[in-house]
Chain A
Amino acid sequence: DAKTTQPPSMDCAEGRAANLPCNHSTISGNEYVYWYRQIHSQGPQYIIHGLKNNETNEMASLIITEDRKSSTLILPHATLRDTAVYYCIVRVLDTSGTYKYIFGTGTRLKVLA
């Protein structure tokens, strides 16, 4: 069962910040939130991850609420090449002892010129 819910689609003007929300209200205390994106006909690409604290790297920022029930991925200056499906993922520890990504259906972000 998917542990995340995201809006199915969003538009963003080129050069503006893209803010992609994600709800993960059933997340457990030791489960990380990962964000990946998938450009058409390619495999998913890692963007960023976090547990409790806000995180920033060269691609994006991740803001996690204090109760950890939701998060927001921020692309500070969206470009046309950022058009993709963005997946908010909870990494769970399965009963088999394997960490697994549980993907939802993602948000299709379209950056408009």
Chain B
Amino acid sequence: GAGVSQSPRYKVAKRGQDVALRCDPISGHVSLFWYQQALGQGPEFLTYFQNEAQLDKSGLPSDRFFAERPEGSVSTLKIQRTQQEDSAVYLCASSLVTAAGQGGTNYGYTFGSGTRLTVV
């Protein structure tokens, strides 16, 4: 497709359950970002991939959060032993160029519609 695709669209998990959220970026996009958006708040950075390399994971809130992009295209965000505070919308964004080389040109991100995770 032409856009960033995320699945599932909605996920309800019982507390303590592991979940996996998938992101299909735009084909050929080098950069991939994961953001977390709590209700009524702006998105917050979680992690960044340049191709298959995870260059920045400073925003991951705990070691229960793990992301991968093994072949430099599809990415999966995994949350182990989910807690209620993990309830949020998880957004994926991709960009054609590297986040370290954007300079002044517009390399705005294309966001997916997100996965709404509810932990009960």
| Residues in A lying within 8 Å of B, measured CB to CB | 2, 32, 34, 36, 41-46, 49, 51, 87, 91, 94, 96-106
Contact = CB atoms under 8 A, between A and B. Distances in A.
B56 A103 contact: no
Contacts of B111: 43-45
Contacts of B48: 98, 100
B42 A51 contact: no
B65 interface: no
A104 B4 contact: no
B4 A43 contact: yes
A98 B56 contact: yes
Interface residues of B, number: 25
A2 B41 CA distance: 11
Contacts of B45: 100-102
A2 B45 CA distance: 12
A104 B91 contact: no
A49 B108 contact: yes
Interface stretch (B12-20, B66-74, B77-85, B99-107): B99-107
A98 B101 CA distance: 9
Nearest to A88: B42
A102 B35 CA distance: 11
B90 to A, nearest CB: 11
B42 A2 contact: yes
Given A100-B45, A101-B45, A105-B42, A43 B99 contact: no
Given A94-B56, A96-B55, A97-B100, A105 B40 contact: yes
